[in-house]
Structure formats: structure tokens, C-alpha cells
Structure 1
Amino acid sequence: MPNVNPEILRWARETAGLTLKEASEKLNLGDARGVAGDERLAAYEVGEVEPSRSLLVRMSKQYRRPLLAFYISSVPRTAERGEDFRTLPPEHSRSQDALVDALIRDVRARQEMVRALLEDDDEAVRLPFVGSMSVREGVEAVLQSIRETLDLDLDQYRGRKGRNGGPDGFAYLRAQAEKAGVYVLLIGSLGSHHTSLDVEMFRGFALADEMAPFIVINDQDSEKAWPFTLLHELCHIWLGQTGVSGASGASAVEQFCNDVAGRLLLPRDEVQNIAYLRGRSFDDTVAAINDFAEARNVSRSMVAYRLFRENIIDREMWSGLSALFRMQWRQARDDRRERNRDRDGGPNYYVVRRHRVGEALLGLARRMLAGQALSPSKAAKLLGVKPSNVYSMVSSGPGSPGSLHKAQG
């Protein structure tokens, strides 16, 4: 095994969003012989000292990099995110940014695995809608293409009910997208609450691969915002753009994708039904949006955005409404977490994990496991679970654990 490249050690730490002091604490590098832990780490990073295997293993875990990454010859070019469509404040969290990059690396690895499986099993088909449109063709042309390709019906979206009897338009949109060949995942952390990704840092991610396009939605966001984010990221797929989106998007392409998503969920003629809000008070506007959004199974923030884009309310009113709705959602979420903290039990682990992964990825794992084209260990990486949980994970639907074990036996 070649020597470790010290430049890679520094790069891995910095891209993990850690200072020397923070990293030395996470790596349990304490003071030794009068030398502080951060100074000891700095010595490794300039090549004065060769790190031990056990230290490299700890670095691999804390920096979220494969062990072999420390032996590559030069720092890799930063292109993990594709295009960064986010508008972030200068003081944004470096550690959160590093978590976003770690998530994107994980998603890319899954996508590459899916593509390889499809190609090896002769299931790979080029999806003609990926990169089929451009901003020049206009919002109406892109939304019409998405609507026709996915066979979207607004009445079905609004009438879709979940298991608890409440509206679940997201499940309908996700099913239509996955039927067309797009893998839709819900991921808002890297496995623990310590790695939860703030919506301000990351709302969605699109990987515009022509064989296996992926969309990731931050499930830390309001569930009512998921449909809008899914359609927004689908627009990026149609434009052939791989990249990450945040809560605030001031760029022209983000506004374009927002308009596509907004008009799909709330057509212009319906927005004109509340054009009477032009010039009304803030409180009157809030009350009207509450009723209007509830009846159409859309988020209040999205209604406010559509009102702004149709010049029914001004930017100041829109900003105030967005801030209010975001504050109310956060308060409701915190209250719900507080109530659930004292309750016994909770949702079934596998039900939650399946919902996050989506039926498209689960279905692929079932088929490939049954056909012995996928080992349990690789299926675990694909599904984001431990190998011991794979068969329980894929047990619902076609291909139960028993039948899969039998097929492999």
C-alpha cells in the first residue's frame, strides 16, 4: 500500500467542514508529550508524521470518505454537486455544507449502482425526457411536457388520500415519476439527528442521468412542500441539469423551475380566483390563503409564491407571508416532536425506511436479489440499511424474504 498523501488528509478534513481543533476532538487526538491535539493533526497534514491505520479508519468515518480516498495521488476536482443552484448567506454553516456533499456522494454511488445493475441485466433504457427541454422553450412548454410524460391529473393529485385518511398528493406524484423511470428518495440526514440537514441549506437534489435519474427531497421540510420540491427537481431533470437546490433560489433557472412547479400545482386561472386579494391587508391575505391552500392540497408558501408571481401581492407581502408560514410550520413541528417524545413506540422502522427509499428502488432491489444479480451487502448500500435488515426491508410487495431466500438457495 502506498504512503498516504498528506494533501488528501487536509482536503478531506476541510471538505468535512471541520477545523483542526474540531477534527482532533472528533478523532480523539488528545495532547501528547506537550503537543496539542490540533497541532498533532496538523503534523499529519503536512507529512511530518505518517498516520496509523486505526487513525485513518477514524478519519474515514468522521470525514465521510472511503479509506482508499486517502491514498489517491492528488486532490480530486470538486464536481460532486453538479450545479449549485442555492443562494446561501455568507455565514452559512460549513459543517452543514459538508453534510450536503456527503449526501450527494452517497446518492451518486447509489445511482451508479442502479445504472450498472440495469445495464448488466439488459434493463437499461435511455429516457428521452432527460435533458429534452431548455429554458428558452418557456415555462408552459416544459410543464406541458412533464404533465404529458408523467400523465399527471390535477384532480387525482388533490383527491389522493393517505393511510390516515388525509391528503397525500405527494404519493401520487412520486408514483407517476417512478413509473416513468425516476428514482425519488426522501433523505434529510446521514443517519442520525446529529446529521440532519437544514432546509435552508438543502431542499432538493437532481441527478439528471439518462438511464437512472435520481431526485432527493429533504424530508426535514414540511410534507406539504414535498410535491412542489419534487416538481421543481423534475424540471431540472427535463433541463438535463444535475445540481442541488436550497430554500431560497434567486437565480433565473431556479425561478424558472419554481414557476413550472407552481403552475402545475396551481394553474393561473385558479390563482386569478383570489385576485381580489390585491391591496388587501396582511391578515385578510393570510386567512384567504389558509382556506385556498387546504382545499387544493398545496402548501401555503406555494400559494403565496404564485400570488407574487401573478403580481397580485408585492414582494414585501410575499416575504412577510413566507416568514410567517415558515415560523408557524417550525413551531408546529417542534410541538409535535415534544408531544411524541413521551409516547411509547412509534412508526415501524421498515415502514419509515421503505417510504424514504421509494418503491422504484425497493422493486429493483427485490428483482435483483431474487435473480442473484445483487448480494445482500450491495443491496444494503443501495437501500441505505444494514445487511441484516435487507430481507425485512424488501419484504412488502412482490418477492418476500422467504421467496428471495428460496431463490438464492
Structure 2
Amino acid sequence: MARAVQINPRVLSWARETAGFAPEEAAAKLGLKSTAKATAVEKLLQAESGERPIGQGMLEKAAAIYRRPLVTFYLPQPPTRGERGEDFRTIAGAASPREDAILDALIRDIRTRQQLLREALIEDEDTTPLDFVASCRVADGAKAVASRIRKTLGVTTAEQRGARDPAALFSLLRTAAERAGIFVLLLGDLGSHHSDISEETFRGFALADDVAPFVVINDNDATPARSFTLMHELAHIWIGATGVSGPLRGAPANIVERFCNEVAGEFLLPPEALKPIAAAGAASFDLDSALSLTDDVARIWNVSQGVVTYRLLLNGWISNQVATAMFRAFADRWRAERQRAREAREPDETGPGYYIVRRSRLGAGLMDAVRRALQGEILTHTKAARILGVAPTAVDQLLRERPRAA
């Protein structure tokens, strides 16, 4: 029989809960088997309550499955909540405890990957700190900050409007951000659709670091919404505010979140974009008129109707009541479209290959940085795999081809 290890069993239950696993799911992943005396779930709960001893092998499995360092399980008490930076989300109760736990696990994972990449970049003699990180303040005003971001990215309003569609606009902006030294990832789970995080739980996360700044965008959100999220998170980086952001559902009370929304709106919808609405002449539009106007502007500028709605709200052209109804309608429409797409998918239909999807989610910037560090023998394959979120045996295949633009 395996020798039992001495740990505080409360740490074991804390690790499972903060990883977002129900007892049934965790018991299966840990390989526990039901017997005549106890089911697999009962065995797990007994271990978590201290009634059943736990062996070193099971502890090591738990560390891997719950994404915690092994040393964590030897702490005398469960640690405090994982560091998100500031939580800028303003919709209380929108997330389930499970999704909040998965979000914490995702952010811990991103922080670890970012730190490994940061260390590798610092070893590279060509790396210099990025002077735009934390170079602005809220007091500078949204227009000024949007202008500074545009200067760094080098993207013109003509290019925004000339993009083929919202996906092409996002690709344009993402490429420009990566060229500036910002790593932009599309992640909405822990590597499996079983751990999907709803766009209602989080829309984006920014890690404002002057060597390896990260932006994470929830790829469970609608494609037209991604450009706004990217620009919103870039505003966080420009003012040096690390944290997690929620969905666009109105004008938030949080000053930083409201400001970053305004910066994103200024960038994506310059004054010329709002001229058709101003020309309509109404002091305040009703729901039907506002829906029609936002649809027209959104199509022309390759953004979501939510972005246009937010600008109308800030300009006083629609009431809070109309804006709330519009945001609710957009959210309902997205959920319905996503459900229809799932139902229309053939049972044996296969999507893009693993490496194509992984490259798209990681982005060219991150993969190029890892590729250079490997070639310069700054990174080992093991650390490269950790940064990329793949097995060490998959690193070479993943980096073999440069990702194609969306």
C-alpha cells in the first residue's frame, strides 16, 4: 500500500474547487474506482475531509489535474484567492462559481506562461522595455490615449473601414499589436471545451508588463466583438492597469473600465463614423431607430452593434433603458446564432486541425518569440511547451509553419 502523506485535507478540497471541478469529474480524472465499500466520489470526499489517507501518487495526480504546484498541497492552510490583478467586471453574479474557478485557473496559467516568456526575453540582448506600457493616465483623456495607441499600431481609419469584415479588422489590429511587442491570445478554456468560460464571465484580460505584455481575449465571444475587446485591453496596457474585464453591457461605474471602453470606442469609431447618426437629427432615438442606425454603422466600420450602441449612449442619443434593451437583444442573438451553428453541425463533421487551431489561438507574436528563443538556446523544449500550452513533443510541429492570417 502506498505510504500516506500528511497534508491539510482542506487544501485538497480547495484545490479542486478553485480548479472548477465537481467531485464526480475530479474523481474520474484522478482515476478513483468504486468498490463495494465506497464509490469513487465518496473516496474523494473522504480524502478531502481527512477520513481517508492520501498517497503520494494521488497527490501528484491532483497537482497536475488541478494545475497547482505540488508544494501547494503541503501548505498549512488554503492560500488566498489567485491574483487576477484588478477585477474590473461590474455585473455581480454573472458567473457561476465553477466558471469563476476556471477563470482563476486560466489567469494563473497565463501568468506562469508570461513569466517564463519574460525571463527568456530578458536573456535576449536585443530586448528593450516597451516605453508605451503605463505611459498614459486616465486624466489624459480617451481621445489622446486612442491617438497614442493608433500612432504605435500604425493603423489608419481608412484601413479599418477597408477591412473585408469584422474578422479581417481583428486580424489587422492583432497583427499591429503583435508587431508592437504585445502578445495577443485567444483563449476561453483550459484546453478543452469542457472548461469553456462564457463571455458573460469574462471578455478579456490584460497583463501590463513592459517586457512581455499579454492580452487574452475570450474566443467564446462573437467575432465582431473581438476588436473592441482588443482595443479595450490595449487601453489597460497603455495606462498600466492589469486586470480582467467583463462584457460590454452599458456604461460601467468603474472609472478605469469606463475609460478603457471610451478609448476603444474612440479608436474603432472616429468622429466621421458617427456623422450619419448625428445627421439623423433626433435628440434621442427609440429602440427601432437605434437598432437600424447601429446596424448600418457597424457594417461600414466592421465592428459590433454593441460598440455603436455604447457610443450612442455616451453621447446621450439613446436612453439607458433603450441601451439596456439593445445590449440584451445583441446577447440573445449571439447565443441563438451559436446554438444554431452547433445544431447545424453534422455529427461526423470535423473542424480545422489541432495545429491550425492552436496557432490561431496563440498568435504569430508568441510563436515567433518562442521560436527565436529556442533557436538561440534560451528556452528548452520543456519551457517552450509550457509557454505554448502544448506537450513538448508537439512544439516542433506547432512552430514548423508560420500562422496564416485569418
Residues 1:363 and 2:368 are matched in the alignment: yes
1:197 corresponds in structure 2 to 197
Identify which range, 352-361 or 384-393, moves more after superposition.
384-393
Structure 1 residue 2 displacement after superposition: 7.5
| Pairing 1:349–2:384 present | no
The answer to whether the 8 Å contact 1:4/1:50 transfers is no
Deviates more, 1:174-183 or 1:43-52: 43-52
2:129, 2:210 within 8 Å by CA — same for their partners in 1? yes
Whether contact under 8 Å (2:224, 2:303) holds in the other structure is: yes
Q: Find out whether 1:322 has 2:327 as its counterpart.
A: yes
Please state how far the C-alpha of 1:188 moved relative to its aligned partner: 1.1
Query: 2:229 maps to what in 1?
Result: 229
Q: Distance in 2 between matches of 1:332 and 1:19?
A: 29
For the aligned residue pairs, the C-alpha RMSD in angstroms reads 2.7
Q: Partner residue of 2:159?
A: 156
Correspondence for 1:401 = none
Q: Does 1:293 align with 2:298?
A: yes
For 1:101, the aligned partner's letter is D
Distance, in Å, in 1 between the alignment partners of 2:364 and 2:321 is: 41
Q: Classify 1:129/1:74 alpha carbon distance in 2 versus 1 (closer, same or farther; 3 Å).
A: farther
Partner of 1:405: none
SS of corresponding position for 1:184: strand
**What code does the residue aligned with 1:208 have?**
A
Encode CA deviations 1:230-268: one digit per residue, 9 max, x unaligned. 010111111111111111544221111101101110123
Q: Greater CA deviation, 143-152 or 276-285? A: 276-285
1:122 aligns with 2:104: no
| Residue 118 (structure 1) shift | 0.9
Q: Secondary structure at 1:13's aligned position in 2?
A: helix
Contact 1:158/1:167, CA 8 A, preserved across alignment: no
Question: 2:301 & 2:207 partners in 1: Cα distance?
Answer: 29
The Cα shift of 1:80 comes to 1.9
Closer/same/farther in 2, CA of residues 220 and 92 from structure 1, 3 Å limit: closer
Between the aligned partners of 2:335 and 2:151, the Cα distance in structure 1 is 35
The answer to whether structure 1 residue 274 and structure 2 residue 261 are counterparts is: no
Which of 358, 382, 388 is residue 387 of structure 2 equivalent to? Answer: 382
* SS across alignment from 2:95: coil
CA distance in 1, matches of 2:83, 2:58: 26
Cα deviation, 1:348-378, whole Å, max 9, x if unaligned, reads 3322211110111110122122223223232
Distance 1:363 1:19, change over 3 A: closer
Give me the TM-score of the superposition, normalised by structure 1: 0.87
Runs of 5+ in structure 2 lacking a partner?
Answer: none
CA pair 282-76 structure 1, distance change in 2 beyond 3 A: same
Residues 2 and 71 in structure 1, CA contact (< 8 A), matched pair in contact too: no
Instruction: Tell me, in whole angstroms, the C-alpha distance in 1 between the residues paired with 2:47 and 2:264.
Output: 49
The reply to whether residue 263 of structure 1 matches residue 266 of structure 2 is yes
Q: 1:76 to 1:126 in 2, by over 3 A?
A: farther
The amino acid of 2:146's aligned partner reads: L
Residues 380 and 216 (structure 1), Cα distance of their counterparts in 2 relative to 1, 3 Å cut: same
Confirm or deny: 8 A CA contact 1:115 1:124 kept in the other structure: no
- Residue 209 of structure 1 corresponds to 209
Residue 108 of structure 1 is aligned with which of 106, 111, 119?
111
CA distance in 2, matches of 1:91, 1:202: 9
Distance 1:339 1:33 in 2: 44
Instruction: Tell me if the contact between 1:86 and 1:245 (Cα under 8 Å) persists in the aligned partners.
Output: yes
Cα distance in 2, alignment partners of residues 345 and 23 from structure 1: 28
Quick check: 287-296 or 92-101, which moved more? 287-296
Letter in 1 for 2:303: V
Change (3 A) 1:74 1:209: farther
CA contact (8 A) 2:5 2:56 kept: no
**Larger RCO (alpha carbons 8 Å, 6+ apart):** 2
Q: Give SS of 1:205's match.
A: strand
State how far apart, in whole Å, the 2-side matches of 1:220 and 1:18 are: 20
Alpha-carbon displacement from aligned partner over 1:265-314 (angstroms, at most 9, x marks no partner): 01234324303254444223222222221111111111111111111111
The 2-side partners of 1:282 and 1:127 are apart by 44
Of residues 33-42 and 144-153 in structure 1, the stretch that sits farther from structure 2 once superposed is 33-42
Quote how far apart the aligned CAs of 1:196 are: 0.7
Q: Using the alignment, how far apart are the partners of 1:250 and 1:220 within structure 2?
A: 25
Name the stretch that deviates more: 167-176 or 330-339: 330-339
Query: How far apart are the structure 1 equivalents of 2:230 and 2:94?
Result: 28
Q: Give the Cα separation in 2 of the matches to 1:16 and 1:313.
A: 42
Q: Deviations over 1:309-329 (max 9, x none)?
A: 111111111111111122222
**Paired position in structure 2 for 1:185:** 185
Letter in 2 for 1:264: F
C-alpha distance in 2 between matches for 1:15 and 1:342: 33
* Deviation of 1:345 (Å): 3.6
> Matched residues, percent identical?
43
Residues 186, 219 of structure 2: 8 Å contact kept: yes
